[in-house]
Structure 1
Amino acid sequence: MDNEAQQYTERDRSPRPSEAGTSSVPAGSEETSDTERPEGRSRFAWADRAAESVPGGRYTLAVLICLLFLTLFNTFVMQPFQIPSSSMERSLRIGDRVLVNKLAYRFGSEPRRGDVVVFDGTGYFGNADYVKRVVGVGGDRVVCCDQEGRLEVNGRSVDESSFLYPGDSPSSVPFDVVVPEGRLFLLGDHRGDSSDSRDHLGSPGGGMIPLDAVIGRADWIAWPADHWTRLHRPDAYARVPAAGGAHG
């Protein structure tokens, strides 16, 4: 009896036919995951090696990546500028920090009348970056002033009261200019305290700034917080006709 029981037990322990072809290691077991771990680690091996090569490890690497991103962003996308003077009051105050969109004119678009732009004034205004409002584009005839003391662009009087500094006239200096193609005629909103295209009519370029000197369009006032706002193109120039018909 004992022998029969022992034989039966041994036969019972042998695998059944349906189990003979299956693996004894269940799916998702430790043995299976061990074979996949090196592949998972290899995806980030470059980061591990880079972190080991700098003092501070992963923390330093993360800071360096952030700095690289910010540098590229400032160089090619959007850059902050601080307003140093009152020439653009009341739109921009001294100390305001504006965000300049460097992509605004990079894909075929060009500055439009009313845009606030930052440009490199080297050789034209001075060896610095300036911020002014576009009043005339290539081909425009800009005249100051009409019988009511308003600026004229291509024969159309422009009401600048929505952004002109309170108490200022459009210009205390009369002028009548035609803007060459590929250039801009620029004025500050605070006409009584702005050195702009009017003051450089006799300088090289006639006070007109070439398009390739434009750094970008000022789109936002980012600081101080109580002055945070988006800069919109005013409607004052919306009815100005295209250049060409106003003079010939």
Structure 2
Amino acid sequence: MDTEAQHTERDPSATPAPGPAEGSRSARSGALSRPLEGPWRKAAALLTLCVVFLLLLSHFVVQPFLIPSGSMEPTLQVGDRVLVNKLAYRFGGEPRRGDVVVFDGRGSFVREGDQGNPVGRAVRSAGAALGLTEPAETDYVKRVIGVGGDRVVCCDRRGRLQVNGAAIDEPYLHPGDSPSQVPFDIVVPDGTLWVLGDHRSRSSDSRDHLGDPGGGMVPTGRVIGRVDWIGWPFGRWTSLGGPAAFAHVPDAGAAHG
């Protein structure tokens, strides 16, 4: 018996070449994986471009804003997503009486200070910019009642606000609310706003900061934009116009003169 020949034939160190079936399986597997990579890569790139576009649109033009509280009811309800027009005051325009605005309350409603972890703040800011999460705690939505130079008084004998001596009937007030339970008589400094919520009994607004530095006045430079539309839910889709309540209010100079 030729044992050496048998050992040579059965040597496991010799690697057999892949057969026709095995080779074709490998080729098919590679061919299937390559076409799948293309669509996934394109989808990821398209999604990234869409997110970047939305973030740029939100930063410069129109920002979705999730309403977190009932301070503006019935005009705005909890869970509404409104569209904030950031171009409204960018080219020389100024907030007007009756406008509903979103503003950064730092320095007027809350103290300037540390805003926490920068990474967490960036993530939250991106979510808020897309209307997916609640806005920062320093962002507020209120109605402009007085602009620079206006004298705003609460209240006349019928319980109405007065702006530059003109009594204001406020159809947007929450049913059952009075214009204010807190009396005040203030003159709005130039470059600032006096703002109130429509649900006066549930709104923390300029009245709550009368004794603070700045007296509850919001600098116009802190205004993020004007709320022009309710975009969600679809059943509440509508535009917000400045109410006619302030149409008869005289300019501050004419009133004081």
Match in the other structure for 2:11:
none
State the shift of 1:64 in Å.
2.3
- In the alignment, residue 94 of structure 2 is paired with which amino acid? E
Match in the other structure for 1:65:
49
State the shift of 1:56 in Å.
3.9
State the shift of 1:110 in Å.
0.5
Matches within 5 A, 1:1-248: 56-126=40-110, 128-160=138-170, 162-247=171-256
Query: Residues 197-230 of structure 1: CA distance to partner in whole angstroms, max 9, x if unpaired?
Result: 0110111211000001000001111111211111
TM-score w.r.t. the length of structure 2 is: 0.73
- SS of the aligned residue for 1:61 comes to helix
- SS of the aligned residue for 2:56 comes to helix
Task: List runs of 5+ in structure 2 lacking aligned partners.
Answer: 1-37, 111-136
Distance 2:88 2:193 in 1: 16
State the shift of 1:247 in Å.
2.9
Identity %: 66
Does 212-221 or 123-132 show the bigger shift? 123-132
Distance 1:130 1:242 in 2: 27
Bigger CA radius of gyration: 1
- In the alignment, residue 187 of structure 2 is paired with which amino acid? V
TM-score w.r.t. the length of structure 1 is: 0.75
Query: Residues 98-138 of structure 1: CA distance to partner in whole angstroms, max 9, x if unpaired?
Result: 11011110000000000000000112213510000000000
* Count of residue pairs brought into register by the alignment: 194
- SS of the aligned residue for 1:108 comes to coil
Distance 2:254 2:238 in 1: 37
State the shift of 1:63 in Å.
2.3
State the shift of 1:55 in Å.
9.1
Distance 2:154 2:41 in 1: 63
- SS of the aligned residue for 1:131 comes to strand
State the shift of 1:245 in Å.
2.8
User: Whose relative contact order is higher, 1 or 2, with alpha carbons under 8 Å and at least 6 apart?
Assistant: 2
- In the alignment, residue 63 of structure 2 is paired with which amino acid? Q
